[in-house]
Amino acid sequence: MNSVDVAIIGGGPVGVAAALLLADRGCSVRLFERATGVYDLPRAVGMDAEIQRVFQNAGLVDRLRSLTTPIDGAEFVDAEGTRIVGGDIAPGTVGPLGHHPTVMYHQPWLEAMLRDAAVMAGAELHLGVEVFGVGQDDDGVTVETGDGDVRARWVVAADGAGSPIRKALGVAFIDQGFDQDWLVFDVALNGPDPMPRLAQQICDPARPVTVVPGHANFRRWELQLQPGESAEEMTKPDRVWELIGRWLGPDDGELSRAVVYRFHATVAERMRVGRVFLAGDAAHQMPPFLGQGLCSGIRDAANLAWKLDLVRRGLASERLLDSYDEERRPHAVDMVAHAVETGRLIDQLAGRIDSGVGIEAAYGGGREFPYLRHGLVHGDHPRVGKQMPQPIVDGRFFDDRLGHGFALLVRDRSMIPETVERLWSTVDAAIVEVAPPLFDGLLPPRGAVIVRPDRYVAAVVDDADGLTSATEALAARMGLGA
């Protein structure tokens, strides 16, 4: 029987991103997707800087830039368009992670690029092949596909919101309490976009509306359905144009397929069952008000890729894989909660409900972004569990100096005890000396920062003793040097 390191079920953006990132690290990967083309209904449009960085580190920065357009800010406005709360982003802004804070894209084009990149990286994509089930034992997983059985050491189930694999494994979804029907469509504009390049939540008492500038000539609308309105009636082209008549008419552009989605909020009770890892919408779903559904799925893929690779190469023990669920599930729960409260705030500011949500859940409202609170993180420094900043130095991304693995940032490498250096060398960690002012405020003068392969800060320590303790704690949890 055929055998691979990782079989991936589902060739949506998350499955394909997992295939790309794993193949990029040298894993043998076979992906199965029952459809042949990419899904064409309007879905994701916004990508944050962390995800741009993931693709940058997979060598895709130029291709990504050709498929994305930055946004100029985001706001909550009243029915007349007056800003209630929000923030602007100056053109050309490069945020702390080395990228624009939010860029817009057309999901089918992004998915096509990712498929191409995954194949170029060495992943096998089997399109038009359905998976019927998985059976696991101590040595691996047997994946039953329409093309015969395949044996894999691990499986990533990125089979979408309906996830047959999640159901077959008996993993329940825990409902986070949000269900609303929204009409969603794009307009491909004939001429210049007459509206500002701001994502707007229009808190209209009659009907909350989301309007978002897209990439190229696309503009996205999302309109909340009201009691008594049906998907059939709301998706008729005449009705759609009537609904957005105050902004555009049929002569201004072409309507792409309109669809009614039920926006859910849910997280799987576990993201790992033995050798099978749930990722993307198969593991969590959230209303799209933060533009974080797909971003969260790419975080899953990025989190898993380096861990599976280290275990595959025998450099870490299987216990490292426990940290996938420990890290990603609480992060997803926090993100879903944030997205739900952002959604409730729209209705609240429209005077439709009183949900008690504070204004900080709005764009520019200052609510802290979710971070890794558990897993392979050590100590209580406020930067631990968050993305390491990525300065651009002499026109180059700082990450280029770190390679693909762990990294130790230090002011002077002589502070690193020999035992610590030896332990990190087992996973080819990069030791990078940086001079002030780079990383001022993060890197203590005689200390070190331990950075994970996915560029999350694992530990910030003040001195050699701190580095020894942090290294020992992290190494024990990963089974390094065992």
| Chain centre to alpha carbon of residue 429 | 25
Applying CB under 6 A, which of residues 98, 164, 213, 405 lies at the interface with ligand FAD?
164
Whether residue 227 has a cis bond before it, omega within 30° of 0: no
DSSP alpha helices (H): ranges in 122-191?
164-168
Q: Cα(140)–Cα(138) distance, rounded to whole angstroms?
A: 6
Structure tokens at 420: 């610590």
Q: Cα(6)–Cα(31) distance, rounded to whole angstroms?
A: 8
Applying CB under 6 A, which of residues 19, 183, 234, 295 lies at the interface with ligand FAD?
295
With binding defined as CB under 6 A, does residue 158 bind ligand FAD? yes
CB of 43 to ligand FAD, least distance (A): 3
Binding string to ligand FAD for residues 117 to 136, with x set by CB under 6 A, is what? -------------xx-----
Residue 183 vs 189, nearer CB to ligand FAD:
183
Applying CB under 6 A, which of residues 159, 325, 326, 327 lies at the interface with ligand FAD?
159
Residues 173 to 202 in contact with ligand FAD, rule: CB under 6 A: 184
With binding defined as CB under 6 A, does residue 294 bind ligand FAD? yes
Closest by alpha carbon to 31, among 114, 110, 106? 114
Residues 292/331, Cβ–Cβ less than 8 Å? no
Cβ-based burial of 318 (10 A; exposed 0-12, middle 13-18, buried ≥19): exposed
Applying CB under 6 A, which of residues 140, 291, 343, 379 lies at the interface with ligand FAD?
291
Q: Cα(224)–Cα(178) distance, rounded to whole angstroms?
A: 13
Q: How many CA atoms lie within 13 A of 221 on its CB side?
A: 29
* Distances from the Cα of 327 to the Cα of 233, 278, 331, 411, angstroms: 43, 13, 6, 29
Residue 210 vs 390, nearer CB to ligand FAD:
210
With binding defined as CB under 6 A, does residue 11 bind ligand FAD? yes
With binding defined as CB under 6 A, does residue 326 bind ligand FAD? no
With binding defined as CB under 6 A, does residue 10 bind ligand FAD? yes
Applying CB under 6 A, which of residues 35, 172, 392, 482 lies at the interface with ligand FAD?
35
DSSP code at position 387 = B
CB of 48 to ligand FAD, least distance (A): 8
CB of 436 to ligand FAD, least distance (A): 36
CB of 395 to ligand FAD, least distance (A): 29
Residue 221 vs 406, nearer CB to ligand FAD:
221
CA 101-379-317 angle, 5° bins = 90
CB of 365 to ligand FAD, least distance (A): 18
CB of 182 to ligand FAD, least distance (A): 7
CB of 284 to ligand FAD, least distance (A): 8
Residues 364/87, Cβ–Cβ less than 8 Å? yes
Q: How many CA atoms lie within 13 A of 312 on its CB side?
A: 21
Applying CB under 6 A, which of residues 98, 280, 375, 466 lies at the interface with ligand FAD?
280
Amino acid at 244: I
Stretch that binds ligand FAD, among 6-14, 148-156, 335-343, 407-415 (CB under 6 A): 6-14
Q: How many residues bind ligand FAD (CB under 6 A)?
A: 34
Q: How many CA atoms lie within 13 A of 480 on its CB side?
A: 23
Stretch that binds ligand FAD, among 187-195, 289-297, 315-323, 410-418 (CB under 6 A): 289-297
With binding defined as CB under 6 A, does residue 297 bind ligand FAD? yes
* Distances from the Cα of 239 to the Cα of 218, 230, 242, 250, 261, angstroms: 19, 12, 5, 11, 17
Residue 298 vs 311, nearer CB to ligand FAD:
298
With binding defined as CB under 6 A, does residue 32 bind ligand FAD? yes
Q: Cα(201)–Cα(344) distance, rounded to whole angstroms?
A: 12
Residue number with the smallest Cβ distance to ligand FAD: 12
Tell me the torsion sign for CA atoms 404, 406, 409, 415: negative
Q: Which residues bind ligand FAD (CB under 6 A)?
A: 9-15, 32-35, 39, 43-46, 130-131, 158-161, 164, 184, 261, 280-281, 288, 291-295, 297
